[in-house]
């Protein structure tokens, strides 16, 4: 257990649906006080009910993370009315599915303001409170796409790359001043969330996550584990995340050509992409709740072997040592 494990309030952005909501509910199940920030009022209300039903306490704030002053005001309200902020999880994002040349400059700006600057705004609000106390943990929810850009998602991939650079720089600065404030990043695989029904798309067919797909609860467990054990600079959830990041570090050019051949088809469903209002400018869950899950429950993985191993290193290490010792005895016996 980390000495920096948060005992106060944990703030979660993007908490009205998808991964952010699953994280909030997981924190509730661990008995935490959770401040839920997002744009969607109805989604927030339902998510808060799930947090309390799971065993936690909930506080909600309708906030657009693209607005720095709104994020700062929400953080101040949390501490004034709910409790000291000891953890902050940045999870809110936006995206556009289209070839780069079909994305407008305004859409690039909006995705950047939400997905990258929203993390900056949340991080700065957290640091203003954590650094004077020399205590707290900030988790940046990333993606394998923070390392490996894919076609049809240039604004999102670029924002995730920016978060990665921001995280690296901030971590160095905190280490330089010997701060006990911890920052860590969790890189996720494709997750079955409502975003694929909400996102702005110009593909002719509705988009889908690239297989293999994981349920949001898998991501939530990895994120909460990182919050409670923030010593590592980053964690990877899902074997596909690890394979993508490692392959990109070794043969990025090969991946360029592979994704050029397969990346379009892998992100398309058979459903027509007609008259679907996106959530880029307005929330889709302001009047109707969408929950955590998207439309891909029939194929989504509910567990991650890699994630389980990351959360149980002692068991994995002991098993590996036992296997090595057994192998050594077998080898000696054969000799």
DSSP-derived secondary structure for 112-154? IIIIIHHHHHHHHHHHHHHHHHT-EEEEEEEEGGGTS--TT-H
Instruction: Give 294-324 as a 3 state SS string.
Output: CCCCCCCECCCHHHHHHHCHHHHHHHHHHHH
Domain boundaries, the chain: 9-303
Could you tell me if 146 and 194 are in contact, meaning their C-beta atoms sit under 8 angstroms apart?
no
Tokens representing 318 are: 């002991």
Residue 328: Cβ within 10 Å count: 10
Phi and psi at residue 15, to the nearest 5°: -90, 0
**Are residues 114 and 66 in contact, defined by beta-carbon separation less than 8 angstroms?**
yes
Marked catalytic residue, from 116, 156, 214, 264? 156
**Does residue 77 sit in helix, strand or coil?**
helix
Q: What residue has token string 């006990």?
A: 180
What pLDDT tens digit does each residue of the chain (335 aa) get? 344 556 799 999 999 999 999 999 999 999 999 999 999 999 999 999 999 999 999 999 999 999 999 999 999 999 999 999 999 999 999 999 999 999 999 999 999 999 999 999 999 999 999 999 999 999 999 999 999 999 999 999 999 999 999 999 999 999 999 999 999 999 999 999 999 999 999 999 999 999 999 999 999 999 999 999 999 999 999 999 999 999 999 999 999 999 999 999 999 999 988 767 789 999 988 888 989 999 999 999 998 665 555 554 555 445 446 555 555 665 666 66
Please give the structure tokens belonging to residue 213. 């797909």
Q: Which two tokens stand for residue 308?
A: 């389980």
Confirm whether 156 is a catalytic residue. yes
User: Could you say which DSSP state residue 288 is in?
Assistant: S
Q: Is this structure's pTM higher than 0.95?
A: no
Specify the 3-state DSSP secondary structure of 32. Answer: coil
Domain 9-303: which CATH number of 3.40.50.1980, 3.30.870.10, 3.40.50.720, 2.60.40.10: 3.40.50.720
Tell me if 163 sits within 8 A of 146, measured CB to CB.
yes
């Amino acid at each position: 257990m980390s000495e920096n494990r948060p005992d106060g309030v944990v703030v979660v952005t993007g908490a009205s649906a998808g991964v952010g909501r699953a994280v909030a509910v997981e924190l509730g199940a661990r008995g935490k006080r959770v401040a839920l920030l997002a744009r969607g009022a109805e989604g927030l209300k339902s998510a808060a009910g799930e947090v309390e039903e799971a065993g936690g306490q909930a506080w909600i704030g309708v906030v657009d993370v693209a607005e720095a002053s709104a994020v700062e005001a929400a953080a101040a309200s949390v501490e004034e009315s709910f409790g000291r902020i000891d953890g902050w999880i940045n999870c809110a994002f936006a995206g556009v599915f289209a070839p780069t040349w079909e994305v407008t400059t305004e859409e690039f700006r909006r995705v950047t303001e939400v997905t990258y600057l929203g993390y900056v705004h949340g991080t700065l609000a957290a640091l203003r409170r954590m650094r004077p106390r020399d205590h707290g943990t900030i988790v940046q929810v990333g993606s394998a796409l923070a390392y490996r850009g894919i076609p049809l998602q240039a604004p999102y991939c670029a924002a995730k790359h920016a978060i990665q650079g921001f995280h690296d720089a901030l971590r160095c600065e905190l280490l330089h001043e010997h701060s006990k404030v911890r920052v860590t990043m969790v890189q996720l695989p494709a997750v079955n969330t409502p975003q694929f029904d909400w996102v702005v798309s110009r593909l002719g067919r509705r988009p889908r996550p690239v297989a293999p797909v994981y349920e949001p609860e898998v991501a939530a467990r990895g994120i909460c584990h990182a919050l409670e054990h923030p010593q590592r600079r980053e964690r990877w959830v899902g074997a596909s995340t690890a394979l993508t990041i490692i392959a990109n570090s070794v043969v990025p050019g090969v991946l360029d050509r592979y994704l050029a051949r397969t990346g379009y088809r892998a992100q398309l469903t058979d459903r027509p992409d007609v008259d679907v209002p996106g959530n880029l400018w307005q929330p889709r869950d302001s009047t109707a709740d969408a929950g955590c899950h998207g439309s891909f429950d029939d194929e989504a993985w509910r567990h991650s072997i890699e994630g389980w191993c990351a959360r149980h290193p002692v068991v994995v290490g002991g098993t590996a040592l036992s296997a090595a010792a057994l192998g050594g005895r077998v080898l000696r016996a054969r000799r």
